[in-house]
């Protein structure tokens, strides 16, 4: 249950490895903050927490909890908001179903997720669950635009201690494949609304017989809002996938699909399902009706399909045909070779912004079913952003891998406020029910966009509001002025949406008298220019939309730093508050698995350390809190101490892990507070704590080390026991006593 008081700082309760780390780190934060009269509260935005909050009528009074996401969504619109947001699960359907099953096993009387709802009650339950899956959190909390960059201390450390990089060869067969046309990019239309067009719009489907059905009504659009609409042809997608499977086989390399089925929770699971169906083509052609009757959907992934087939009466016959087909298919990129988990098994296992940078960092290599490295056909069906990965691969083939010891950095200023662009498109994405037309009809009767579609085509609309766009441009102006770095707006004049944004950007740059300090480039050209810049040891600012913000703040940090978890991510909320994000959580599931098996958590809390310092500094500035300023400066010193003394977690059991890093952070933090002269009260308070942490070092480290090696019982994956989680993550009685 989340703390419902009125704190100075909100620390979010999330999922997986970041939440396990919080069980160790948050008590330390609170102890330090209490000494300065600073209250640190929590809000539960975890997947399990959101499920519980959605069905209060099904639960006992003790089980119920408030809708913390909704409350936090209102808080971030206030000037006093100060939120440290850790990465949460953007759930795919398999993850959502698994979380529901775990909660039910714990005694929560929740309804099942209706995969194929038939009754009105099932449809209502499905609608409530669909509000939880995918990117349900970020669009609510991101009431500001993004400023993401590597903290100076982190970047300096990465240059002095460069991570390993795979070798690139000019004859590598690894490449990116995208649809030749009829995708979201090719079919996009965009317009900026005038005042007389604003108001309640609707999205209609017009059937071939002229009948009209409403897909969405009461859709409020505003003056100056950029409104896009596009669709991806299902037939063109199927033809493309079948062709790529055959081409991959002929090339003798691995097939892989790279999507974002978590954030793009309507469109991408459908595309993923098309890929699964294409891979198993003859099987679905022969048994399609039987599969449909058994509730087998390719959208949930090949793992779910195979599991459900195993329960059919003729399972052995079908499996034999699947095995024969697999022998005729090209090798497939593996998520886990040892466990036989392929790239097509689970939609949320391969998330493009994590999977593609990892492959590029590895020299374009993936792993096959035997655990052997090889070249890969990276299939990214839609062309909107595939070019950045295609260009990066081409660049490294020609120039070799990036050298982290000399590379410059790419910072990011991202347009994401108020559900900007595709990540806000979930309520306005539809699979065409039949051949016909999907159109947007504005409040004044204008038909803004209209597309002729065929059954199964994926149509979507997304928007970017005027105020966030203007705020984004100003944030870019401020960032360039503060750094003097090369600054590039990653906008494609040949793409409809980007052309509308350029109509905002150019006049703003000219009005500010800084047009000569900025470039506007399509993503492909901007990728090459940025790689050339950082290869030369210089720095660049990528000014991008929402999806590119997400992709680039994994791509460049993984190449520069070896991870995106150490990024400094500041969201300057448009009404004056601050949201401090702590990095990416893409590798969190594997971290949890290792903790459960070996009681070793390799999650690196560097993102949390950086966000904490920024949050305290923001509190000092916004509230005139001098003690917060002292705590913030000392937290920054502690972060530097972690880096300078190499106190980050090791990947191997038996070596220092996440819990050790928290001890060292606390020690360096207390040392800095005891040594400072700006606040004598804080210095006096922390002097004995610093002394105790130093004197008890051997005892604390011994107790932390002894905890490792066996199983780590946390009482659940999605909804762990608070008590068991604390016992695992706070195993040093000596350290706990210092902060009791």
pLDDT at 93: 87
Q: Model's pTM, two decimal places?
A: 0.86
Confidence of residue 5 (pLDDT cuts 50, 70, 90): low
Give 593-597's long-range contacts (Cβ < 8 A, gap of 24+).
594/653, 595/17, 595/20, 595/712, 595/714, 595/728, 596/711, 596/712, 596/713, 596/714, 597/711, 597/712
Confidence of residue 586 (pLDDT cuts 50, 70, 90): low
Of the candidates 629, 606, 612, 620, the one whose C-alpha atom is nearest the C-alpha of residue 150 is 606
Residue 346 predicted with pLDDT over 60 = yes
Of the candidates 554, 538, 541, the one whose C-alpha atom is nearest the C-alpha of residue 408 is 538
Residue 54 predicted with pLDDT over 70 = yes
Question: Cβ(664)–Cβ(641) under 8 Å?
Answer: yes
Average pLDDT over residues 631-640: 95
Residue 1 predicted with pLDDT over 50 = no
pLDDT tens-digit profile of 414-463? 999 999 999 889 899 999 999 999 999 999 999 999 999 999 999 999 99
Q: What is the 3-state secondary structure (H, E, C) of 569-627?
A: EEEEECCCCEEEECCCCCCHHHHHHHHHHHCCCCCCCHHHHHHHHHHHHHHHHHHCCHH
Mean pLDDT in the chain? 95
Of the candidates 575, 579, 605, 601, the one whose C-alpha atom is nearest the C-alpha of residue 590 is 601
pLDDT at 153: 84
Burial class (CB in 10 A: 0-12, 13-18, 19+), 337: middle
- The region of weakest confidence among 78-92, 415-429, 581-595, 721-735 is 581-595
Confidence of residue 166 (pLDDT cuts 50, 70, 90): very high
Neighbours of 470 (CB within 10 A): 14
Burial class (CB in 10 A: 0-12, 13-18, 19+), 581: buried
pLDDT above 70: percentage of residues in the chain: 99
Average pLDDT over residues 161-188: 97
pLDDT tens-digit profile of 546-565? 999 999 999 999 999 998 87
pLDDT above 90: percentage of residues in the chain: 88
- CA–chain centroid gap for 731, Å, is 30
pLDDT at 263: 84
Average pLDDT over residues 308-327: 93
Vertex 112, ends 107 and 118: CA angle to 5°? 155
- The region of weakest confidence among 268-272, 287-291, 473-477 is 287-291
Residue 185 predicted with pLDDT over 90 = yes
pLDDT at 587: 60
Does an H or E element contain 47, and which? helix 47-54
pLDDT at 92: 84
Rg of the chain over Cα atoms, rounded to whole angstroms, equals 26
Confidence of residue 353 (pLDDT cuts 50, 70, 90): very high
Average pLDDT over residues 235-254: 98
The first and second tokens of residue 455, run together, are 């059954």
Question: Cβ(654)–Cβ(701) under 8 Å?
Answer: no
For the beta sheet containing 567-573, the strands, ordered from the edge strand earlier in sequence to the opposite edge, are 40-44, 9-13, 82-85, 578-581, 567-573, 144-150, 410-414, 540-544, 486-490, 519-521
pLDDT at 470: 97
| Helices 606-623 + 16-35 axis angle, to 10 | 40
- Residue 516 CB partners (closer than 8 Å, separation 6+): none
pLDDT at 262: 83
pLDDT at 2: 45
In 197-330, beta strands by DSSP E: 199-207, 212-221, 226-232, 254-257
Q: Which residue has the tokens 């492959």?
A: 359
pLDDT at 569: 86
- Residue 643 CB partners (closer than 8 Å, separation 6+): 153, 154, 156, 157, 606
- CA–chain centroid gap for 185, Å, is 22
């Amino acid at each position: 249950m989340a703390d419902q008081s009125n704190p100075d700082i909100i620390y979010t309760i999330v999922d997986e490895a970041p939440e396990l780390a919080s069980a160790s780190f948050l008590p330390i934060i609170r102890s330090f903050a209490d000494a300065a009269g600073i209250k640190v509260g929590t809000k539960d935005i975890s997947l399990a927490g959101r499920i519980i909050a959605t069905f209060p009528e099904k639960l006992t009074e003790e089980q119920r909890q408030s809708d913390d996401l909704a409350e936090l969504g209102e808080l971030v619109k206030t000037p006093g908001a100060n939120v440290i947001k850790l990465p949460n699960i953007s759930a795919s359907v398999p993850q959502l179903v698994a979380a529901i099953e775990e909660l039910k096993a714990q005694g929560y009387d929740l309804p099942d997720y209706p995969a194929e709802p038939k009754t009105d009650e099932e449809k209502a339950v499905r609608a409530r669950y669909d509000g939880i899956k995918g990117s349900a959190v970020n669009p609510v909390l991101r009431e500001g635009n993004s400023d993401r960059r590597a903290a100076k201390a982190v970047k300096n450390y990465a240059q002095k201690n460069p991570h390993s990089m795979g070798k690139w060869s000019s004859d590598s067969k690894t490449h990116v494949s995208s649809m030749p046309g009829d995708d979201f990019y090719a079919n996009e239309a965009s317009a900026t609304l005038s005042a007389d067009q604003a108001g309640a719009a609707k999205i209609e489907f017009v059937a071939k017989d002229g009948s009209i059905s409403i897909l969405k009504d009461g859709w409020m659009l505003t003056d100056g809002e950029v409104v896009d609409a596009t669709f991806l042809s299902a037939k063109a997608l199927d033809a493309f996938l079948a062709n790529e499977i055959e081409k991959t086989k002929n090339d003798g390399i691995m097939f892989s699909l790279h999507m974002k089925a978590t954030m793009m929770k309507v469109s991408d699971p459908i595309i993923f399902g098309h890929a699964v169906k294409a891979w198993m083509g003859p099987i679905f052609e022969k048994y399609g009706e039987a599969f449909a009757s058994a509730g087998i959907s390719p959208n949930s992934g090949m793992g779910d399909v195979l599991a459900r087939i195993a329960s059919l009466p003729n399972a052995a016959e079908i499996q034999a045909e699947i095995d024969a087909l697999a022998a005729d298919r090209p090798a497939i990129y593996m998520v886990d070779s040892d466990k036989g988990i392929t790239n097509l098994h689970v939609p949320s296992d391969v998330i493009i912004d994590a999977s593609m940078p990892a492959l590029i960092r590895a020299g374009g290599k993936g792993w096959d079913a035997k655990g052997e490295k090889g070249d890969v056909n990276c299939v990214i069906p839609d062309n909107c952003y595939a070019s950045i990965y295609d260009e990066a691969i081409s660049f490294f083939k020609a120039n070799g891998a990036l050298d982290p010891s000399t590379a410059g950095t790419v910072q990011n200023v991202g347009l994401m406020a108020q559900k900007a662009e595709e990540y806000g498109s979930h309520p306005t994405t539809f699979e065409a029910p039949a051949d016909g037309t999907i159109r947007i009809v504005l409040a004044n009767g204008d038909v803004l966009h209209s597309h002729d579609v065929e059954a199964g085509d994926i149509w979507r609309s997304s928007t970017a509001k005027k105020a966030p766009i203007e705020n984004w441009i100003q944030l870019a102006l401020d960032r360039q002025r503060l750094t003097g770095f090369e600054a590039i707006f990653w906008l494609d004049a040949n793409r409809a949406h980007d052309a509308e944004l350029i109509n905002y950007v150019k006049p703003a740059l000219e009005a500010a008298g800084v047009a000569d300090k900025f470039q506007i480039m399509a993503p492909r050209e901007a990728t090459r220019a940025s790689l050339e810049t950082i290869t030369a040891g210089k720095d660049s600012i990528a000014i991008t939309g929402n999806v590119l913000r997400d992709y680039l703040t994994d791509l460049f940090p993984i190449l520069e730093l070896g991870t995106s978890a150490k990024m400094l991510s500041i969201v300057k909320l448009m009404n004056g508050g601050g949201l401090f994000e702590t990095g990416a959580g893409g590798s969190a599931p594997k971290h949890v698995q290792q903790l459960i098996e070996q009681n070793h958590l390799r999650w690196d809390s560097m993102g949390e350390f950086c966000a904490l310092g920024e949050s305290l500094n923001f509190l000092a500035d916004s509230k005139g809190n001098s003690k917060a300023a002292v705590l913030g400066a000392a937290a920054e010193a502690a972060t530097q101490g972690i880096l300078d003394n190499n106190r980050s977690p090791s990947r191997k059991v038996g070596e220092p892990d996440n819990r050790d890093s928290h001890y060292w952070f606390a020690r360096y933090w207390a040392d800095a507070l005891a040594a400072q002269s700006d606040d004598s009260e804080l210095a006096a308070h922390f002097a004995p704590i610093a002394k105790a942490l130093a004197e008890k070092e051997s005892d604390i480290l011994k107790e932390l080390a002894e905890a490792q090696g066996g199983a780590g019982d946390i009482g659940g994956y999605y909804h762990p026991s608070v008590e068991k989680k604390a016992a695992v993550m706070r195993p040093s009685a000596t350290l706990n006593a210092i902060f009791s």
